């Protein structure tokens, strides 16, 4: 695990090397992402810190104890820069599994443990390294990710979720209609 390097708002450009600033982890990225929304000129960065496919990126500064250390898995192909107030975690697990596991209620409680609410809340590499999550085999991690990805699509993808919800309500309606209209004839 290592901290990213500062990238100021003024250093963000439309072109250049892809980068992630800590606030984007809260506002833009979900459990995983494959393209950075920001870019910068490498000449502006004094001590560049990179992340690449499979890495987990944490935001270590936030506005609330509940949100501190939100993370996302990078599943893209480009090498990208990690901005200030981020931590990059290298590992040998399924990146999406780790991101899901680090978003559970238990992991969120661990991330907030010992943090003091002030104007901003900070975390650190040692705090993140102390978080414990279940680590099943890679095959089981992949199975769990496949299930969670399907649920995520149903909940968050309007083109998938709404038709599925409509279909479920139709079946519910048919069930209750049949129950209400099934009685012995006199």
In this prediction, residue 119 carries a pLDDT of 80
Q: Are residues 94 and 155 in the same domain?
A: no
Range 92-124 burial, b when 16+ CB lie within 10 A, else e: ebbbbbbbbbbbeeebbebbbeebeeeeebebe
Distance separating alpha carbons of residues 68 and 115, to the nearest angstrom = 9
* 13 and 69 co-located in one domain: yes
Domain count along the chain: 2
Distance between CA atoms of residues 97 and 178, nearest Å: 42
Q: What is the pLDDT of residue 100?
A: 96
Contact in structure between 37 and 28 (CB atoms under 8 Å): yes
Within this chain, do residues 42 and 104 fall inside the same structural domain, yes or no?
yes
Residue 161 shares a structural domain with residue 73: no
- CA quadruple 10, 11, 14, 20: dihedral sign: negative
Domain range spanning residue 25? 2-132
Q: Please report where in the chains the tokens 């969670």 appear, as a residue.
A: 148
Residue 65: predicted pLDDT? 85
Q: What is the pLDDT of residue 165?
A: 81
Tell me, yes or no, whether 125 and 146 share the same domain.
no
Residue segments in the chain with a per-residue pLDDT below the cut of 50:
none
Whether residues 54 and 93 share a domain: the answer is: yes
Residues 101 and 81 in one domain: yes
Count of all residues that appear for the chain in the document: 186
* Angle at CA of residue 86, ends 7 and 130, nearest 5°: 165
- Domain match, 44 and 121 both: yes
Per-residue CA distances from 179 to 166, 184, 186 (Å) = 20, 12, 17
């Amino acid at each position: 695990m290592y901290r990213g390097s500062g990238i100021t708002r003024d250093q963000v450009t439309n072109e250049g090397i892809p980068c992630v600033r800590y606030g984007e982890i809260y506002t833009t990225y979900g459990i995983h992402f494959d393209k950075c929304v920001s870019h910068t000129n490498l000449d502006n960065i004094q001590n560049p810190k990179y992340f690449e496919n499979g890495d987990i990126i944490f935001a270590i500064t936030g506005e609330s104890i509940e949100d501190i250390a939100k993370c996302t898995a990078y599943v893209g192909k480009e090498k990208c820069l990690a901005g200030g107030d981020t931590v990059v975690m290298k590992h040998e697990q399924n990146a999406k599994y780790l991101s899901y596991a680090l978003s559970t209620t238990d992991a969120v409680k661990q991330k907030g443990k010992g943090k003091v609410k002030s104007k901003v809340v900070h975390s650190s590499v040692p705090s993140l390294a102390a978080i414990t999550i279940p680590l099943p085999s890679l095959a089981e991690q992949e199975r769990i990710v496949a299930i969670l990805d399907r649920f995520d699509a149903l909940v968050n993808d309007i083109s998938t979720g709404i038709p599925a919800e409509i279909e479920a309500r139709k079946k519910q309606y048919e069930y209750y209609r049949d129950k209400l209209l099934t009685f012995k004839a006199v």
